[in-house]
Amino acid sequence: MTQSTRRNLRNGLLFVSPWLFGFLTLQVYPILYSLRMSFTEYSGFGDMTDIGWQNFINLFKDDLFWKSAYNTLYYTVLAVPIGVVVAIVIALAMNQKVKEVPVYRAILYLPSILPVFALSLVWVVFLNPKFGLLNRIANLAGIPTVDMLGDPTWTKFAIVLLAQLGAGGPALIFLAGLRGVPTEMLESAQIDGAGPFRRFFYITLPMITPVILYDIVLGLALGLQIFTQAYILTSGAIGGQGMAGPRNSLLFYVFYLYKTAFQYTQMGYASAMAWVLFIVSVILALSVFRWARTWVHYESE
């Protein structure tokens, strides 16, 4: 390298050094340290005791591990596709050519910028079986009320519904995708006699499949790491005696990981759980990208 190139490289590294320091010390080092802890028995204090693969072996014998994995899978399988559909519907509403559409966009997007814990607390009040607005509406309509926060059959679905309040963010991304659909193709299809549904399913939907893929991958990542909503609901409404909801119906994977690390002080066991989650997440992401080759259409293709 020339002297000028070396000087530019040195100055560039100097400018990015704060980020490099934070990346190495706050991300890379904790990840590697957690891998080390996953092979030990460690409470967070004192010395580590090497136990080899015992933490991973114990995981697959732990009933709560399987319960949390099932709860997380149940939530993700429901929340991700429902979230994609809701976001597309909201984006279509935002894309209408009406005078008041900016106001509608603000109203639809507003819940997505509110803190999750605030929405969760509001949701607790909304679903309260005694004075909640949902059950009041059901009583007026003559529909039997359901205790969605006390019945283990409905608790996870209540979290799925809560997740849809944040659909305004993905909807904006879908709106950008809708704006990228060539109007010439839509107009040509309309001239040829295609109705709005045929235009949507045969032109618009294939054109926004890259955005759908992005939303699915993002939804899977968020779904597998769901924590705040369950923590707020179980701590403030239906938790008790160490249970995560009725019959541990809201014991999601990361929630159990948190309890294991900071309530039961089993840091080694929790680190093993974290690495299992990481491996499963990578496998799911690679599987989704492989599956996407069969249905995602890019403009260059």
Place of tokens 């840091």: 267
Outline where DSSP puts E strands in the chain. 40-41, 49-50
Q: How far apart are CA 267 and CA 44, in angstroms?
A: 6
User: What number of other Cβ atoms are within 10 A of residue 129's Cβ?
Assistant: 14
Q: Residue 241 has what pLDDT? A: 44
The string of DSSP letters for 177-226 reads: HHHTS-HHHHHHHHHTT--HHHHIIIIIHHHTHHHHHHHHHHHHHHHHT-
Contact 203, 148 (CB under 8 A): no
Tokens representing residue 295 in the block: 């249905």
Could you tell me where in the chain the CATH 1.10.3720.10 domains are found? Answer: 63-292
CATH code that applies to domain 63-292 = 1.10.3720.10
> Which residues of the chain register pLDDT less than 50?
236-242
Task: Please report the pLDDT score of residue 128 as a whole number.
Answer: 82
Judge whether 43 and 280 are in contact, CB under 8 Å: no
Strands 49-50, 40-41: pairing is antiparallel
Global pTM reads 0.87
Contact between residue 81 and residue 166 where contact means Cβ atoms under 8 Å apart: no
Q: Which residue has the tokens 């923590």?
A: 231
DSSP 103: H
DSSP 127: T
Please enumerate in sequence order all residues whose Cβ is within 8 A of that of 199, keeping only pairs 6 or more positions apart, or say none.
Answer: 186, 189, 190
In this structure, which long-range contacts are made by residues 264-268, counting pairs with CB atoms below 8 Å and at least 24 apart in sequence?
265/43, 265/44, 265/45, 266/43, 267/37, 267/42, 267/43, 267/44, 268/37, 268/38, 268/39, 268/40, 268/41, 268/42, 268/48, 268/51, 268/55
**Longest C-alpha distance within the chain, in Å?**
82
Cβ–Cβ < 8 Å for 150, 183: no
Two tokens at 36? 């080390």
Angle at 243 (CA atoms; ends 162, 280), nearest 5 degrees? 65
User: For the chain, how many residues are written?
Assistant: 301
Write down the pLDDT at residue 238: 44
pLDDT of res. 243? 58
Q: What pLDDT is attached to residue 301? A: 53
* Phi, psi (degrees; rounded to nearest 5) at 282: -65, -45
